[in-house]
Amino acid sequence: MFMMLTMSIIIMTISLIVMLLASILSKKSFYDREKNSPFECGFDPKCSARMPFSLHFFLIAIIFLIFDVEIALLLPVIVIMKNSNITVWMLTTLFFLMILLLGLFHEWNQGALEWTK
């Protein structure tokens, strides 16, 4: 029991010494102006970093992600075709593609796919 206590005290002491040495040696100065300024390809920033972004670009990116996930869901359909009933497979695939195409046509009619207005 006494040996276990001394070993744990020794291990704690060594770990504390290592942590103190690491914190002392890793102190870096943050007073350098160049290191504190934002980095933009080596140039000083001329305007605010909080530039407004295009909401239309954001909506197109979201639509792309949605359709990208749906295409990833279509990939296993080819593998499943061998192991399933062909009529059930065909109905399920056509239903899924129809929903996908209806969503695409809806976005097209709403003008969400037009890049310039």
The pLDDT score that the predictor gives to residue 43 is: 57
The pLDDT score that the predictor gives to residue 112 is: 78
Instruction: Dig out the tokens for 15 from the structure.
Output: 């770990």
Sign of CA dihedral 91, 97, 98, 100: positive
The pLDDT score that the predictor gives to residue 67 is: 82
The pLDDT score that the predictor gives to residue 37 is: 63
Residue spans of the domains in the chain: they are: 2-36, 55-110
What residues of the chain score a pLDDT lower than 50?
A: none
Integer Cα distance of 78 and 68 in angstroms? 17
Question: What pLDDT, in 10s, does the model give residues 18-51?
Answer: 999 988 888 665 666 666 666 656 555 566 656 6
